[in-house]
Amino acid sequence: MSNNIISMRALMTEDIFRQKSISSSRGFTLLEVMVSIALLAIVLTAIYRLHTQTIAMANATRFYTSAPLLLQSKIGHLQTLSFDSSSAGSGDFGDNFPEYFWKVRIDDVESEYLGDVADDLKKIMVEVSYGEDEALSYSTTMYRITDEKN
């Protein structure tokens, strides 16, 4: 009988350990949950920053691809006009390119070295910008000889 009692005690002790190990492995501790949430927050923050930078780079790339073409079309339009101060101004590119704006400034050139040629020379500055705050801009300056006398 003492063997039976010892074997029963062994079985009961084994059952108790088994129950403790089963009950302790059923869920996560508060510390484990908090560590996993912290890691998840760090990873999601890094992914959000990367995504934001990717969008900004895509917008800049789109602008620096479109702006030279828009600038060239504006210069082509200017070449059909006379280069006086009335050709200067600003505006937008219409519904095809919303958020894109242009500015044209035409000035006379003054130079001692050019002499009388400077009287017929115009400095034409054309700028294309993106957005109301003009965060991105692309510009060029060209010089044109005109037949007009002031």
Mean pLDDT of the region 94-100? 90
Residue 150: its pLDDT value, please? 46
Does pLDDT of 8 surpass 80? no
Every domain of the chain and the residues it spans: 28-145
Q: Which of 11-20, 43-52, 69-78, 117-126 has the highest average model confidence (pLDDT)?
A: 43-52
Q: pTM of the predicted model, to two decimals?
A: 0.63
Work out the burial of residue 102: count CB atoms within 10 Å of its CB; fewer than 13 is exposed, 13-18 middle, 19 or more buried: buried
More confident site: 149 or 74: 74
Does pLDDT of 137 surpass 50? yes
Residue 12: its pLDDT value, please? 63
User: What is the secondary structure of 67-95 as a DSSP string?
Assistant: HHHHHHHHHHHHHTS--SGGG-EEEE--T
